[in-house]
Amino acid sequence: MREIIFDTETTGFDPASGDRLVEIGCIELVNRVPTGRTFHAYYNPQRSMPAAAEAVHGLSDIFLSDKPLFAGGADALLAFLEDSPLVAHNARFDFGFLNHELRLCGRPEVSMDRMIDTVAIARQMHPGAKHSLDALCTRYGIDRSHRVKHGALLDAELLAQLYIELTGGRQIGLGLAQEVESVVFRAEPQAAALVRPVHPARVFAPSAEELERHRAFVATLSNPLWLAGSDPA
């Protein structure tokens, strides 16, 4: 199964208020194993970069000034994504910006049915814990010492490792992917659905011999606790 892990960097939080996507990084997984294929691009947002956003990812107006517009690279990005499921951390944010840019350049939007949200998965697995990428990397022992600032491709690489851990761990790379497929986390528009195989109920009925042995044992008891205070007659 082919999946794409991706992350974005932007000028802010809300495309509806004029914020734009400035960087995207994608990692290809096949059966939850990285193939080495990636997609990475910077885009000129055609607007100024707020200081607060630049402090997060370090992408300045000067750096982005000679980068192509999203419209010029949309076809290459869509060709890489194909129709694969798309995995992101707090995926609604990334899907929102990606689809906003696609609308602006007249391309079809990416269906939300393809969205897999690792935040939703983490909430299912670790309720009440911190679910930031940094916190989850620490929980799973994923080295992020080289992450000085946010970067779309770097964060996608970290997220790929985290997604593998959240969906079965490194043993997938040993050819056990099909076992992991029995537990599927898929972020639907409202929440993540946890689907587990249903096993028949086990029967623990005592045999006739066991019942007779129990009756014989009870008959040997003197003043058992459960008869305390009752009329022996």
126 is in an annotated binding site: no
Q: What is the DSSP letter of 5?
A: E
Is 150 in the active site? yes
Question: Per the residue annotation, which of 40, 150, 199, 214 is the catalytic one?
Answer: 150
Q: Which token pair is 116?
A: 């897999």
61 is in an annotated binding site: no
Which candidate, 153, 151, 178, 183, places its Cα nearest to that of 166?
Answer: 183
57 is in an annotated binding site: yes
9 is in an annotated binding site: yes
Catalytic residues, by residue number, are: 150
Residue list for the binding site for substrate = 7, 9, 57, 155
